Structure 1
């Protein structure tokens, strides 16, 4: 039944364990208190006997035996029902006073059993605690008192200890059950939300549990995870849509090419048609590889392999490799790089990103254009900028340029897949870098801002060929 779920919950089991520990601790505390009070009561009884015996010894020493007997009689009357009982013998062992009812007077501590009322046939035996002391005038004085109150106190404390321990344990158990029920109700709301997510409602988010900050932080992290999963699913749907839309044309061309090749009437035409089909297939495979690479990067894969990278060397090698290409196209590629700038990342991916940006600038600018690669430190950040003085990108199109397969109308006649900028954006995002497309008046300026690297990274960076290649 549902009401039993609270007893089966982890919260109640934890409360049960807590109740047992708390009950054991409370019982131990109560036992210590009971022992302390009992010891105090016993010490008070012993102290009273010692004090009474000492007073009567003083009476015997100062006033003699007759004065002692008067003092005993006076103490009897003054004590009432709570009076001490006395037994006094002279130096010859004769009984002078005997309230105890036994003739066995001895020095030291002892216990004597007497009847509560000797005249009553139904009288109960009563245990007296006694103290015998030698008297200055000779003989022995025994002072006794009943310990009934002390025994009753100890028994009462023992019962209270048991009852209080059981009550405290039950109280903690009941409180644990109620808290477990509260926790279960809130956890049920979380599980219901998870069920709706599993059923396909990816927009559902988990409510806060509210028991403690740690549980709320757990809900927040799970919601952040769901947001991330939702973004990845949106990206997957977008990739699927892009593939279906943008690969239709090259696949149609490939099919037409194969059909035309099948109708070829000579070996030369047949071979040429096959070569064209192979080239078109390679282009389609290149698109798939680029899409897979973008998807992998957007998923965050590879960040665990980051290490200090000398970005100055990486961009220097990329620019040096593209300068002859720019010159062949009648363009100028200049480098303005501050040396020794280090970021945390993957040298190969960073080189790929810079290659895409510089190659994009070379292919989409007219002859005579000036392309400038700049690397500098600004406000504790490392900034790489690729700028040109070509036709640029309209302000309304700059966000779209970073999307998969997007190409400006004036660039559709140029070879390419429309994935270079989106791959560069994915690499920048993997490195927690911000990529901005700005107006260069004229032309386009692409700025990548890397986050501040810890000093340990900069000190541990070692310029090496592997980092730059």
Structure 2
């Protein structure tokens, strides 16, 4: 039961309130004891001072003088006055304001019972032996008992108020917490039921619950984006693989029904080429999935990006020249990133392959890289025809291809892999120019 109570908001606040109440009780008990002892010492001090004064009278005038002083004090008695008892050696009363109900013994007596005019009380007393008798000075404890009772009432009230406030606060906080959590729970149930557009309501207070709602909404937005991406990928795969699969089936049909051996061999070779193309598509999709899943982050290490880009330029420049195109480099030195060298090389290779495949003869492509603060920008720009603006926004999607490139080889996965590599390295890839040429820019984080 206690374990379940501790796990609820009401239980936590209630236990804290009980702790505060226990602390109040302990403080009250200590205060009560200290106050009680201080009052008792005050009574003892008062009795002692009065006894010394009367003993001084004994020295000056004897017992008769003390008896006269007791009678005078009785005549002027108030509710706060001390009580006195003077007896001879035989125990007979010489002068007294009270009648003792306990034996008279020398020394301090904390609970000296007495009677005065029908009132029975208890006092703190000091009994002193005198020549020819005994002197008892008594301080009534009635006022002390009233003070004790008042303190007890105050402490009990404070304890009750603390418990009441604690339980009330626990109930209020528990209700508020359950109310806010109920909204989150209702949103979660709606999403489970299929309404993926639901979001946790925010109140703009920037409180802990409001910030939690914002975080959950960001998570839901991310999940929705991933689901949209999954649906898009599924649709793209179904659409873009239909053509090569159809061609594969046609080639296999041709091979199975062909009458001529050469014709069957040609059909089988064509079918094998179609199968290889499908395998390449699936390999590219798996590679993109691996990069987007950040599986490659385990291999991140310092990479000399400047040296890598210089190597890529040296590797591809002959291909550009053979295709009647020109490759220019504008790479700053000393650019360092933390990443996977193989993936970065793959991303740059995809950009260069695109430039070779989708630009006309005579095009100049420029691979540039520069650093600004903590960021490094790598850009491949060409002065080719570019792409229409309405097609530019979707070029980083899987299987997305500009209309002009439909007749060239490729599957529309190159730029998707480029962006996946950039995002996997904590950056991004954007289309920095689509008209008056074509340019793709990768932003990476500098490594120190």
Report the TM-score, using the length of structure 2 for normalisation. 0.88
Asked if 1:331 corresponds to 2:332, the answer is: no
Q: Aligned equivalents of 1:31 and 1:253: distance in 2?
A: 93
- 1:382 is paired with a residue of what secondary structure? strand
User: Please, what is the CA RMSD of the aligned residues?
Assistant: 3.1
Cα 1:411–1:442 shift into 2, 3 Å: same
* 4+ residue segments displaced more than 6 Å: 6-9, 90-94, 209-212
The residue aligned with 1:127 is: 122
- Tell me the SS of whatever aligns to 1:80: coil
Task: Indicate the SS of the match to 2:265.
Answer: helix
Structure 1: runs of 5+ lacking an equivalent? 1-5, 459-469
Structure 1 residues 177 and 210: alpha-carbon distance in aligned structure 2, compared to 1, 3 A threshold: farther
Q: Which residue of 2 aligns with 1:110?
A: 109
- Equivalent position of 2:244 in the other structure: 250
8 Å CA contact 2:396, 2:415 repeated in 1: yes
Q: Find the counterpart in structure 1 of residue 34 from structure 2.
A: 36
For 1:415 and 1:385, the matched residues in 2 are separated by: 23
Hey, what's the Cα distance between the residues in 2 that align with 1:15 and 1:339?
61
Alignment equivalent of 1:447, drawn from 437, 441, 445:
441
Residue 179 of structure 2 is matched in structure 1 by: 185
**SS of the counterpart of 2:165?**
helix
Provide closer, same or farther for how the CA distance between residues 187 and 112 of structure 1 changes in structure 2, counting only shifts above 3 A. closer
By relative contact order (CA 8 Å, sep 6+), the higher-ranking structure is: 1
CA distance in 2, matches of 1:431, 1:62: 106
Please give the residue correspondences for 1:22-421 in structure 2 after superposition, counting only pairs within 5 Å. 22-61=20-59, 65-88=63-86, 96-101=94-99, 105-111=104-110, 113-117=112-116, 125-133=120-128, 140-158=134-152, 160-162=154-156, 164-208=158-202, 213-303=207-297, 305-421=299-415
Deviations 1:145-167 (A, max 9, x none): 22133234334534554454344
- For the Cα contact (< 8 Å) 1:7–1:177, is it kept in 2? no
> CA separation of 1:167/1:301 partners in 2, compared to 1, >3 Å: closer, same or farther?
same
Offset at 1:116?
2.6
- Cα distance change, pair 166–210 in 1 and its aligned pair in 2 (3 A): farther
Structure 2 CA distance for aligned equivalents of residues 380 and 233 of structure 1: 33
Q: Is the 8 A contact 2:17 2:163 kept in 1?
A: yes
Q: Is the 8 A contact 1:254 1:281 kept in 2?
A: yes
Matched-pair contact (CA < 8 Å) for 2:388–2:434: no
Give the gaps of 5 or more residues in structure 2: none
Give, in whole Å, the separation in 2 of the partners of 1:17 and 1:236: 48
Aligned residues: 444
Distance 2:301 2:107 in 1: 87
| Equivalent residue for 1:19, pick from 17, 20, 29 | 17
Instruction: Provide the rounded CA distance (Å) in 2 between the counterparts of 1:254 and 1:359.
Output: 26
The whole-number CA distance in structure 2 between the counterparts of 1:27 and 1:151 is 20
Structure 2 CA distance for aligned equivalents of residues 66 and 212 of structure 1:
86
- 1:437 pairs with 2:436: no
Q: CA deviation at 1:63?
A: 5.6
Once residues 110 and 376 of structure 2 are traced to their aligned partners in structure 1, the CA distance between those partners, rounded to angstroms, is 94
Shift in alpha-carbon separation, 1:246–1:281, aligned structure 2, 3 A: same
TM-score (norm 1): 0.84
Q: Is the 8 A contact 2:6 2:12 kept in 1?
A: no
2-structure distance, mates of 1:69, 1:132: 15
Please report how far the alpha carbon of residue 301 of structure 1 lies from its aligned counterpart in structure 2 after TM superposition: 4.5
Q: Tell me by how many angstroms 1:104 deviates.
A: 5.6
